[in-house]
Structure 1
Amino acid sequence: MAETRNEHLTAWMKDAGMSAAELADAVNEAIRDLTGRPGVTSERTVFRWKSGENRWPQARQRRALEAITGRTVADLGFVPRGKGTTNPVPPTAPPEDPVHRRRFVGAATSTAAAVAVPRITRPPRVGTSDVIRLRDSVENLVALDAERGGHTALERAALAGADEALGLQRRSTTQRVRQRLFAVSSDFVATAAWSLIDAGQLDAAGKHLDRALTLAGMAQDPDMTMQVWNLRAMLARQRKDYGEAIAAAQAAQATTVARRSPLHASLVCARTAIGLAHAGDHRAALRSLGRAEDALEKADLADPRAPWIAFYGPAELYSLTAIVRDVVGHPTEAEAAAYRALSALPETYRRNRAHTTARLALAQLHQGDAEQACATSADIFTIMDGDPLPGRMRQLLGDFQRDLFTLAPSAHVAHEWTDRYRNEWSIP
């Protein structure tokens, strides 16, 4: 009978970002935790699982797979030998929710090992399950950033995560896992840097980016390297050092991941366009923006991606387009792009929605419609729902007020806007 490819296991591995070798390592580590002796699962074994050549792993491997994934072996696409005649599928516990899985992978397997083999007293082995747990933590911080924006508590949490990853890296483990932990550390430190950029604390953010770039190099991870250069471009723009912003964005373009991934290429082309627009090279900015649009059309948005770039897609490109178009003197096109961004942004991206609303208000103001611009900008405070505005957003509202009085110095609406909102946007 022809073999049937195990699409369920393949999909889980793709979603988790795990290679066959990494899953084999994780299974062997879980078997060690469960029995006291490491498993002997090979990369070839995982390929045989994926191809359907081996449709029913050994008992210890099945238990390890369930511990790692939080899913039953049936949910992972495995079926017992002779299904339909003998050997029915043994009962298993229902799949666990992601929060429980993270706790289980990090702690419960070692507890089970202590019960099954009480004589084992060695420290727990560091492995792929630790990397998965830390990646989940990064993802949680990224979600918090999207909801509230950058703040010092988020920075502290990210740095604590980096310290934990580096501490695990120093313990006995495989070279592959060691590099993964360096990559996660870089991700945590870059997240801390971004939090400070968004909060407007630029000097400390630069120091974090230097450290994150070093860690990305030690990890030999082009994705993390590109993330740092992307943030370096954003930091330079906040400092109004547009030459450095362009150079950092071009460094991001030169990374391996940007050369092979249309999604990453689109982001760095858009980032380059912003730097060029602010530097006054408007034609080059629009050409780079066009390349960003072309690249995004080629990207498969359903592909798994790192948490740091999960925000990027059509909505974010529309938002960046609004910035470029407004800076080069096309406020009508900027307004249209901002509206497209707002219609496409997920509701959970509250900070991004507020920031794009501010760009929309600026585009309206630059068309001479001060009254509409003031009404639009008022939505920012509703969107943020009483949370403090991140420093980057407060700076943008400061630009709005400056342009408001420049373009409509005697208008009653300008004074009314300032009287009503000054305290809300000017206080950290």
Structure 2
Amino acid sequence: MEGNASLINAMADLGLKQAELAEAVNDFLRAHGYDGTVSDRTVRNWLTGKTRWPHPNQRAALGAVFGCTAEELGFSPPSARRVSTEPEPPVRRRNFFSATTGTAIAVVAPVDSRPARVGTSDVIRLRSGLDALMALDDNKGGHESLERSALAGADDALDKIQQASSQRIRQRLFSVAADYTATAAWSALDARQLDRTQRHLDRALYLSGMAKDPVVELRVWNSYAMLAYQRGQHVQAVDAGYAAQATAITRRDPLFASLAHARTAIGHATFGNRTAALRSLGYAEEALGKVSPDEPRPSWVAFYGGAELTAMTAIVRDRIGDSTQAEAASHRALASIPKQFRRNRALATTRLALAQLHQRDIDHACATASTVFDLMNGDPLPGRMRTLLGDFHRDLITLAPDAGVAQEWGDRFRVEWSRS
């Protein structure tokens, strides 16, 4: 039988595995007075198309998890029952639950006054908010409102821990809180609010430990490495890269291993260790070649792949003095970084301008740097980008203080800086 592509895609969007979907459906069923009997095999039958029309209570549970109808999830009723394509009115659904459970109040409110228990479907809904924040970050970069939203998401997850239906759900809530806090840290880091970044990372590391979540732990160490670089603490940047490599997820998923090695390579290059930097880059490339693209992963790591590794290679090459190779790598990166990662494209463009400048190609470097402002399309420049453009301006003045094109670029830089 053909597989249920709609359900497969819906699960991929939420990063759900078969066992997790079964658990979410069972949570809903138990909360509404049913036995939670959905298993991995049940979900597998849905995915393969062997079960084309789940039981009514299972359809309601699937609707609660995914926020859409069974038909939208790729299921279809037997032809004899296909009377209308109109969605079932809410009153009819309430009547169904009333007839099944005996009283309508069993559906609309708990029988007793105890707080509703928090289960897998609640965790999924909390986690889905991270995707919207990461899409905003990809486009505009880090800013204060994003940071506040992320901290509010973390608080929401932590507030629900006392109502968790199991220890496993408690750990998942800690994981969600850690991810939101790491998102706040990243936003502060991109805005170059370094003290706030440190506080958020310290808390995110604690929460990831409570969650026993190695993915968030790696994310935190990756940000620690970037924070150390921005503070000029190059030894600590390398140490943070090694800590990221040591997390358990790098042994299970080569994508995360590649990211950790690439971050360590930048640390080595900044510290001036050419051999170690190129060795770490080699490890990053080797690990990336083993990645399975179909493995579900959190939205925060969607930026990383061949294009981003090439952009990081450009950084390493420029810092160890290989400006020609840095320029070539920057061109390759810009040819493949997806357009939705606007902030990353702007950063890669600035790196290209720096590589051209370090080859004394002043005219091209200034023209390239000017396109960064066009890429950001009038939005305020994130602090990290402002600092990088400041590095370009400083090097430009050092290398060509009297060049007319350098003075023209400096005038535009000051205008754009004042707008941000």
**TM-score, scaled to structure 1:** 0.87
Contact 2:33 2:106 in 1 (8 A): no
Contact 1:27 1:39 in 2 (8 A): no
Contact 2:255 2:287 in 1 (8 A): yes
Distance 1:309 1:245 in 2: 20
Deviations 1:336-365 (A, max 9, x none): 111111111122111111111110100000
| Residue 144 of structure 1 pairs with residue 136 of structure 2 | yes
Q: 2:25 aligns with which of 9, 27, 31?
A: 27
Partner of 2:266: 274
Deviations 1:355-399 (A, max 9, x none): 111101000000111111111111111111111111111111111
Q: 1:118/1:149 Cα in 2 relative to 1: closer, same or farther (>3 Å)?
A: closer
Partner of 1:371: 363
Partner of 1:314: 306
Q: 1:117/1:196 Cα in 2 relative to 1: closer, same or farther (>3 Å)?
A: closer
Letter in 2 for 1:60: N
Q: 2:400 aligns with which of 385, 408, 426?
A: 408
SS where residue 374 of structure 1 aligns? Answer: helix
Partner of 2:384: 392
Percent of pairs identical after alignment?
54
Q: 1:421 aligns with which of 413, 416, 419?
A: 413
Distance 2:104 2:179 in 1: 31
Letter in 1 for 2:346: A
Q: 1:172/1:265 Cα in 2 relative to 1: closer, same or farther (>3 Å)?
A: closer
Contact 1:27 1:41 in 2 (8 A): no
Letter in 1 for 2:230: Q
SS where residue 289 of structure 2 aligns? Answer: helix
Offset at residue 68 of structure 1 (A): 1.6
Name which of structure 1's ranges 306-315 and 15-24 shifts more when overlaid on structure 2: 15-24
Distance 1:269 1:366 in 2: 26
Partner of 2:293: 301
Deviations 1:32-90 (A, max 9, x none): 55xx414322435535635667555322112211332244445545566xx57xx5457
SS where residue 170 of structure 1 aligns? Answer: helix
Q: 1:190/1:93 Cα in 2 relative to 1: closer, same or farther (>3 Å)?
A: farther
Offset at residue 11 of structure 1 (A): 5.1
Contact 2:116 2:163 in 1 (8 A): no
Contact 2:110 2:116 in 1 (8 A): no
What pairs with 1:58-73 in structure 2 (closer than 5 Å)? 58-73=55-70
**Number of residue pairs aligned between Structure 1 and Structure 2:** 404
Deviations 1:256-312 (A, max 9, x none): 111221111111111010000000101110111122112112212343210110111
Distance 2:105 2:218 in 1: 42
Partner of 1:40: 36
| Residue 186 of structure 1 pairs with residue 182 of structure 2 | no
Offset at residue 20 of structure 1 (A): 3.7
SS where residue 18 of structure 1 aligns? Answer: coil
Distance 1:418 1:20 in 2: 56
Partner of 1:354: 346
Contact 2:29 2:36 in 1 (8 A): no
Name which of structure 1's ranges 321-330 and 403-412 shifts more when overlaid on structure 2: 403-412
Partner of 1:242: 234
Distance 2:165 2:147 in 1: 28
Partner of 2:97: none
Offset at residue 9 of structure 1 (A): 4.3
Q: 1:232 aligns with which of 224, 234, 237?
A: 224
**TM-score, scaled to structure 2:** 0.88
Deviations 1:186-223 (A, max 9, x none): 11000000111110111110110010011111111111
Distance 1:165 1:91 in 2: 40
Distance 2:347 2:366 in 1: 15
Contact 1:71 1:94 in 2 (8 A): no
Contact 1:331 1:363 in 2 (8 A): yes
RMSD: 2.6
Structure 2 gap segments, 5+ residues each: 89-102
Distance 2:194 2:54 in 1: 52
Distance 1:415 1:113 in 2: 75
Partner of 1:333: 325
What pairs with 1:85-234 in structure 2 (closer than 5 Å)? 88=81, 117=108, 120=111, 122=113, 123-234=115-226
Contact 1:55 1:79 in 2 (8 A): yes
SS where residue 298 of structure 1 aligns? Answer: coil
SS where residue 37 of structure 2 aligns? Answer: coil
Distance 1:242 1:362 in 2: 20
Partner of 1:106: none
Distance 1:345 1:135 in 2: 26
Q: 1:184/1:425 Cα in 2 relative to 1: closer, same or farther (>3 Å)?
A: same
